[in-house]
Structure 1
Amino acid sequence: METNEVRIGNYIMDKKDENIEYVYLIHDLGDLVYINDLHPDVCIPIPLDEEWLLKFGFFSSDLVRYDPNDESHEQFEYTLDSGISHRAFICKPSKGWVVKLGNYDDELEIKYVHQLQNLFFALKGKELT
Structure 2
Amino acid sequence: MIDVKELKIGNYVFPKNDSGKESVIGEIFAINDYLVSIKGNHNQYDYHLLEPIPLTEELLLKCGFTELYSDSKGYIYSVNNIEFIRSYFDTPSYFIKTNEENVLFEKPIIYLHQLQNIYFALIGKELEVNL
State the TM-score, normalized to the length of structure 2.
0.75
Aligned residues: 112
Amino acid at match of 1:118: N
**Cα distance between partner residues in 1 of 2:87 and 2:73:** 6
Gaps of 5+ in 1: 65-72
Q: Higher mean Cα deviation, 2-11 or 95-104?
A: 95-104
Residue 32 of structure 2 corresponds to which residue in structure 1? 27
Find the partner of 1:56 among 57, 63, 68: 63
Residue 41 (structure 1) shift = 1.6
Quick one: structure 1 residues 126 and 106, their matched pair in 2 at CA, closer, same or farther if it must change by over 3 Å? Answer: closer
Residue 41 of structure 2 corresponds to which residue in structure 1? none
Residue 96 of structure 2 corresponds to which residue in structure 1? 99
Q: CA RMSD in A?
A: 2.1
Q: Higher mean Cα deviation, 103-112 or 38-47?
A: 103-112
Residue 45 of structure 2 corresponds to which residue in structure 1? 38
Quick one: structure 1 residues 74 and 121, their matched pair in 2 at CA, closer, same or farther if it must change by over 3 Å? Answer: closer
Residue 79 of structure 1 corresponds to which residue in structure 2? 78
**Cα distance between partner residues in 2 of 1:125 and 1:24:** 18
Gaps of 5+ in 2: 38-43
Q: Which runs of 4+ in 1 moved over 3 A?
A: 101-108
Please give the secondary structure, in 1, of the residue aligned with 2:53.
coil
Contact 1:91–1:97 at 8 Å: present in 2 too? yes
Contact 1:100–1:107 at 8 Å: present in 2 too? no
Residue 105 (structure 1) shift = 6.3
Instruction: State, as a whole percentage, how many aligned pairs show the same letter.
Output: 37
Residue 70 of structure 1 corresponds to which residue in structure 2? none
Residue 3 (structure 1) shift = 1.4
Please give the secondary structure, in 2, of the residue aligned with 1:126.
coil
**Cα distance between partner residues in 2 of 1:105 and 1:121:** 16
